Amino acid sequence: MGSRTSRISQPVAIRRAVALDAKRFTRLVRGSRAYAGKYAAAVAGYRVGPDYIEAHRAFVAVGADEQGGRVLGFYSLVLAPPELDLLFVAAEAQGRGIGRLLVAHMQPEARAAGLGRVKVVSHPPAEDFYHRVGAVRIGTALANPPAVQWDRPELEFRIPSE
């Protein structure tokens, strides 16, 4: 975790995402500081649609603040093949443990779905985060221009049975 900001100081709830969350997710992805500079093109036109949320196990972390539940981050667990497809934390919430909380939530969800492993194709700057929360490197996903112009680390969470 970064030292930029304090740990979670407000109650955070994680709930199943609904189609109405799609626009907020899209804004969060497109506004991600992790994709600034040379990575910006990868998310410039990215859209999380209501159909995506309904097709996958998407969950959202919401802050119980005066604004009635601000989106702090979200993730999507794809079951076949097992993959943590999206995990984003709002810029103002980074470094506060939200990403770690989302990963901790994902693991029992994966176990309940009968998954023993969950792959992550990581954004290069996020690789250290995934290592800190228990993922191990298993390979490299090669660049796929024009959509993705750089190689990305492939990691995996091993989900122990109960």
Peptide bond preceding 146: is omega within 30 degrees of 0, i.e. cis? yes
Q: What is the pLDDT of residue 145?
A: 87
Torsion angles phi and psi, residue 78, rounded to 5: -95, 130
Say which residue, 73 or 144, is predicted with more confidence. 73
- By the 8 A CB rule, do 109 and 118 touch? no
Q: Which two tokens stand for residue 62?
A: 């919401």
Q: What is the pLDDT of residue 98?
A: 95
- By the 8 A CB rule, do 26 and 46 touch? yes
Q: What is the pTM (predicted TM-score) of this model?
A: 0.89
pLDDT at 149 over 60: yes
Task: Report which secondary-structure segment, H or E, holds 133.
Answer: none
Half-sphere exposure of 131 (CA within 13 A, CB side): 9
Q: Which two tokens stand for residue 70?
A: 């601000």
